[in-house]
Chain A
Amino acid sequence: MSRMKLKEVDRTAMQAWSPAQNHPIYLATGTSAQQLDATFSTNASLEIFELDLSDPSLDMKSCATFSSSHRYHKLIWGPHKMNSKGNVSGVLIAGGENGNIILYDPSKIIAGDKEVVIAQNDKHTGPVRALDVNIFQTNLVASGANESEIYIWDLNNFATPMTPGAKTQPPEDISCIAWNRQVQHILASASPSGRATVWDLRKNEPIIKVSDHNNRMHCSGLAWHPDIATQMVLASEDDRLPVVQMWDLRFATSPLRVLENHARGILAIAWSMADPELLLSCGKDAKILCSNPNTGEVLYELPTNTQWCFDIQWCPRNPAVLSAASFDGRISVYSIMGGSTDGLRQKQVDKLSSSFGNLDPFGTGQPLPPLQIPQQTAQHSIVLPLKKPPKWIRRPVGASFSFGGKLVTFENVKILSQQGAEQQQHHHQVFISQVVTEKEFLSRSDQLQQVVQSQGFVSYCQKKIEASQTEFEKNVWSFLKVNFEDDSRGKYLELLGYRKEDLGKKIALALNKMDGPDVRIKEEKQESEFLPSAAGTFNISISEDIDGLITQALLTGNFESAVDLCLHDNRMADAIILAIAGGQELLARTQKKYFAKSQSKITRLITAVVMKNWKEIVESCDLNNWREALAAVLTYAKPDEFSALCDLLGTRLEREGDSLLQTQACLCYICAGNVEKLVACWTKAQDGSNPLSLQDLIEKVVILRKAVQLTQTMDANTVGVLLAEKMSQYASLLAAQGSIAAALAFLPENTNQANIVQLRDRLCRAQAEPIPRHETPKIPYERHQLPKGRPGPAVGHTQMPRVPAQQYYPHGENPPPPGFIMHGNVNPNTAAQLPTSPGHMHTQVPPYPQPQRPQNGWNDPPALNRVPKKKMPENFMPPVPITSPIMNPLGDPQSQMLQQQPSAPVPLSNQASFPQPHLSGGQPFHGIQQPLAQPGMPPSFSKPNIEGAPGAPIGNTIQHVQSLPTEKITKKPIPDEHLILKTTFEDLIQRCLSSATDPQTKRKLDDASKRLEFLYDKLREQTLSPAIINGLHNIARSIETRNYPEGLTIHTHIVSTSNFSETSAFMPVLKVVLTQANKLGV
């Protein structure tokens, strides 16, 4: 059984692992002085092997071999660096047969150097069996030999060792020596006689001697507790007492605990530094045990062969690895974590067979019997490698992210127990924290949401313009802002640098410069003079020159020829004038010919203007003139072609322009209202991974979408693939910052794109609000059934597809929403509900939200409205309040209007946006054509949406109106003593009314008359305080005497001394009446 064996080396040797600090891990072996090998050779060597766990073979890679003249009783590897420049591998310290201690440089051994000995000292008497490095001061090494000799060596000053104190008497061999693991100046030594001595190096004397009374301890091993300073273990080699004793120096009269797990003497022990509950021991019973010295429990027995092990070591760096040297000439490396090495063993068997051909490797005269490899089933019955998990695999701390930017953390705080042992104090708490890293992003997103709710787009854009860092950014926001203003096209023109007033001035100036004001007047005069003169006689030439021919053509009514002649003679003006007379067709042809001949710089512009061919301009203008082209489109394009032309220009800029022009395409797309292309163009130019740059984009997109919704009823709801991607990215970012509600609000509504549907589902469920049972939103996934209980005969159901990606619904469960399933068989139930294939369901989503929704329809539970056939119950209460209407156009007056006439076609689309009439005035080309006059255009659409912010101010009005009639019904009579008030006031109002002349005053008085009802009501209910009643009677009396100033004084007194809420309903009107009466003198 070698299932935990990792490596093996065929050597009878002492062994030392490289220190924990070193990487890779090496194992040094030095020929053991205790045992001759099979050849009885006296040769010795020091070898270094690398532990390469990535190599699956059992062989250990030998890095270097150094032939030595010494054999070793003890070998250790300390981390001390012998000089500043090299020796990264530390120092190998060997105890020899003849009182010698030799320091080797392992890095030189590995490098193959000949001079590998750093120093040597043979001060000891007899074999040096005990060596240990101080873990606090790694330059200090303790050694023990015969005659009670103990030396402390300073590797920096190796020549003269110190002693820990006077030699113990009687002289005895020192078999073990160990530095304390907690206190650096404490050392322990032990001898086969059974005595252990603890030395204090500061006092330079032994402080405690430990020995039990039966005197049968035969110390072969000594180890300090890794954590508790006062505890140590001693192992006994004596077969009569094969025990490990655990001592606590505070109770040094008898062992704290005795581990009696071995049947025969113990040869070596090793205490894990990584877990104080793991103590290895190997003995003459051929066992290697791993026990918990704190309880005595055997945690595991390593499977070994029948040979004794005389040395055992934990690997300092890899706490699961240990090595054991056995008398059969083998060093084996094991893992205590178990692990199947079937593959390894098979490999070895294969190796053997291939080498020996399965014949007779040892010349026994018999072929090898087939090797039995234990079966898997047998292995599964084997107990755990260790009964308890080692400390180093017990994860004490963890932090994991979850959806919504939440971080789940737990920790087990370390504390030191009273004995000094480290323990994990168990906190049973798990903390859920919200991680917010993008504060600016969140605050900007919040602002955007507020803007959408308050519809304050213009001021938002204005703020953005002011805050813009770049000219381009400023332009973009300016363009966006225009969408929400009157005369958007005109404003666009202004943004492009074409201000009508400025242009008018410039033209006037230019004309003045050229001719001067006098010339113009003269011209007019000339015209008027010319016409009468035409009434006089003139000569009609019919000569054969051009003039004559034209004349003849005209005389015969042949306009076409006349025009041709004029054109031929380059008399363009004549040609055009004649063509006008010759009719539309001729004019058109003539224009064409004119443009063909004319070479002026602005001809093409004029061509386009006259031919109404804006596509030509957009398609072929120099891209550096994109502003001019856009200006022309803004001025002339018909609404139905406007967007397309802007689009076209944008596309050209993007495709053909340099990087600067490419970004300008964004402006064209804003004019076009093309959200998807804006996203594409913007994304190309920006680094989209940064939340703030995504925020930059989303702000523009949301605003533009709002604008499009306000102006163009088409397309407002459809969400392009790219936009959907960006919006879901944005929502994901918001969610990751814990803003689940905001994320939901920004998520596009009218899309079946899988990523959005899934994200919406996740967001809805992540919202902590409990979802009403009967309205549990469906999971947007195909559900896969996992039968409950242990595997066995499957319960019910049709056959489960082998590939789980195919769908499967349990009966009665809701089908997934459309758009998610791309393939596979559809459950019959589902098919009945979905008339078209799921992939095309989005075509059935009505373009506008259902009328019965709440006014702020964005409050709807988003997960529920994907299957259009399933309407929500009328009384449905949304389970999840979503606080913003950002991606949903509901609440727009237009969409509401359209809801009211859903069957009507949408004739308004495309025309809605442009408040054109202004354009016909003041244009340079006025009179040539008026392409923009659109009869029958609904004027309301030219206004941005100001009134009708969803749900807001209407409520108050309604309430007020309704309150009056209900009160009339319940009226009681006014108490007789106060009736005088009513008659007095009403009488006064009547008098005022009869003498008042202007309607405004009359209206005021009428209103006052009504409002005083509040007073009368209070009189009926007798709820007014006596002070007020008295005051009112005083006023009434002053009215009787027509002393209105006195009445006003009393009025002021009442108001100033009474409770405002008690009197506010009628006192102000009473003042109005008194003031009017005073003014009118009635």
Chain B
Amino acid sequence: VSVINTVDTSHEDMIHDAQMDYYGTRLATCSSDRSVKIFDVRNGGQILIADLRGHEGPVWQVAWAHPMYGNILASCSYDRKVIIWKEENGTWEKTHEHTGHDSSVNSVCWAPHDYGLILACGSSDGAISLLTYTGEGQWEVKKINNAHTIGCNAVSWAPAVVPGNLIDQPPGQKPNYIKKFASGGCDNLIKLWKEEEDGQWKEEQKLEAHSDWVRDVAWAPSIGLPTSTIASCSQDGRVFIWTCDDASGSTWSPKLLHKFNDVVWHVSWSITANILAVSGGDNKVTLWKESVDGQWVCISDVNKGQGSVSTSATEGQQNEQ
């Protein structure tokens, strides 16, 4: 792992998320300073393209939509709002504001592009909302109330899998997608949600293994195998890898990747789904890979040597067990 570009964001407060677009050429960042910034980072450069103001609280996450819909970015904030930004003729503007939550919106995630433009949002009010673009600037909202009591911290869509992936769908026939996503919350649970035939979202599975808040969930990209994989991380310092081999999707088994000494905030799969990046409260980023015998092995400590890291005695207070 070698640093190839260092982007100075000039954010005035903590950075909470940094995401590259589909092509890996633009970087979106968001911060407690209430702003969202977009940089062109091609050729190791850093050109500020946009400084987006509109949130009235810290901005927790940003998410790029698939480029087939244009250049679209969603952001969510402590101000209970979700804002969808769009580039039009080189200018970024707010195209939609979703105000349907009663508390901090902690996570946003776009559905696989095959489904259309659908955004899942998880909030501290315990609800998850699903925004579907229906055309003419209209967004349809579906809400799952009480998805996670006292708060949903993360949402992550399952990859689009169609039976018979390789065969082109006959023209005119809509692929028979089964839409699913995972969420994690302050009830220590991971929940899997599935869209029913009538378009309603139903809780399909409850995955229990964490003993504290689930901070993040990440559904692994599909690499053509029948196995589904989800990574989850928690306030309890644990990272679990959940796998499901059966077609019905009903049996999930957890495997402990590692127990860290501090809260684990974020997990992210590589595009080829074979490496997991884990970022923890001790400000350490580690990369993990499954070995041939099925064990998860740390292959790298991403350490940029940025000053000294000290952890106060109280920091681990909630996590010891």
Contact = CB atoms under 8 A, between A and B. Distances in A.
Interface string A272-302: 0110000000000000000000000000000
B139 A791 contact: yes
B23 A762 contact: yes
Contact of B321 (A23, A786, A822): A23
A1080 interface: no
A709 interface: no
Given A408-B19, A433-B2, A435-B287, A394 B58 contact: yes
A794 B271 contact: no
Nearest to A801: B135
A1009 interface: no
A181 B317 CA distance: 11
B126 interface: yes
A429 to B, nearest CB: 5
B13 A426 contact: yes
A393 B285 CA distance: 19
Interface string B169-208: 1111110000000000011110000000000000000100
Contacts of A789: 93, 95, 137
A828 to B, nearest CB: 18
Given A435-B270, A768-B42, A783-B70, A56 B18 contact: no
A321 B306 CA distance: 35
A182 interface: yes
B125 A822 contact: no
B125 to A, nearest CB: 4
A829 interface: no
Interface stretch (A332-340, A357-365, A528-536, A667-675): A332-340
A338 B102 contact: yes
A1007 interface: no
Nearest to B272: A736
B244 interface: no
B135 A6 contact: no
B285 A409 contact: yes
Given A3-B102, A435-B300, A343 B145 contact: yes
Contacts of A1078: none
A762 B266 contact: no
B270 A396 contact: no
Interface string A777-810: 0010111111111111010000111111100000
B168 A822 contact: yes
A20 interface: yes
Interface string A377-419: 0011010110001000111111111111111111111111000
B247 interface: no
Most chain A CB within a 10 A radius of its CB, from B43, B72, B78, B145? B78
A37 B227 CA distance: 58
A432 B68 CA distance: 25
B272 A732 contact: yes
Nearest to B149: A53
B318 A227 contact: no
Nearest to B189: A54
A822 B170 CA distance: 7
B4 A399 contact: no
Interface string B283-321: 111010100000000011010101111111111011011
A799 B265 contact: no
A273 B126 CA distance: 23
A368 interface: no
A632 B6 CA distance: 65
Contacts of A430: 6-7, 9, 15, 18, 27, 29
B283 A412 contact: yes
A792 B25 contact: no
Given A398-B265, A804-B116, A319 B223 contact: no
Nearest to B138: A791
B281 to A, nearest CB: 7
A991 interface: no
B163 interface: no
A805 B114 contact: yes
A21 B80 CA distance: 31
Contacts of B48: none
Contact of B125 (A338, A422, A799): A338
Nearest to A732: B272
Contacts of B237: none
Given A343-B146, A785-B70, A402 B20 contact: yes
A855 to B, nearest CB: 28
A396 B20 contact: no
A317 interface: yes
A425 interface: yes
Interface string A431-467: 1111111000000000000000000000000000000
Contact of B117 (A6, A340, A395, A804): A804
Nearest to B101: A340
A394 B15 CA distance: 9
Contact of A790 (B94, B99, B287, B311): B94
A689 interface: yes
A54 B18 contact: no
Contacts of A431: 3, 5-7, 304
A400 B57 contact: no
A404 B88 CA distance: 26
B266 A768 contact: no
A65 to B, nearest CB: 25
A817 interface: no
B18 A410 contact: yes
B232 interface: no
A424 interface: yes
A727 to B, nearest CB: 13
Most chain B CB within a 10 A radius of its CB, from A384, A770, A781, A785? A384
Interface in B105-140: 106, 113-117, 123-127, 133-139
Given A822-B171, A823-B172, A393 B124 contact: yes
B53 interface: no
Contacts of B41: 432
A612 interface: no
B315 A422 contact: yes
B93 A400 contact: no
A49 to B, nearest CB: 15
A415 B187 contact: no
B20 A317 contact: no
A1052 B174 CA distance: 86
A964 interface: no
B284 to A, nearest CB: 8
B280 interface: yes
B117 A318 contact: no
Contacts of A424: 14
Nearest to B64: A402
B5 A432 contact: yes
A414 B312 contact: yes
Given A340-B145, A410-B15, A786 B315 contact: no
A754 B17 CA distance: 32
A416 B310 contact: yes
B1 A433 contact: yes
A792 B68 CA distance: 23
Given A426-B14, A435-B287, A762-B23, A384 B146 contact: no
Contacts of A227: 312, 314
Given A395-B16, A402-B19, 13 more contacts: A6-B150, A53-B149, A399-B277, A402-B271, A407-B277, A408-B19, A428-B8, A428-B11, A725-B224, A769-B43, A787-B136, A790-B97, A794-B135
9 contacts: A273-B317, A398-B15, A399-B285, A426-B12, A689-B223, A729-B223, A762-B23, A766-B23, A787-B137
The 6 tightest CB contacts between A and B, nearest first, are A800-B135, A781-B68, A402-B20, A804-B116, A794-B136, A53-B149
Interface of A: 3, 6, 20-21, 23-24, 53-56, 135, 181-182, 226-227, 273-274, 316-321, 335, 337-340, 342-343, 379-380, 382, 384-385, 389, 393-416, 422, 424-437, 689, 721-722, 725, 729, 732-733, 735-736, 754, 762, 765-766, 768-770, 779, 781-792, 794, 799-805, 822-824, 837, 839
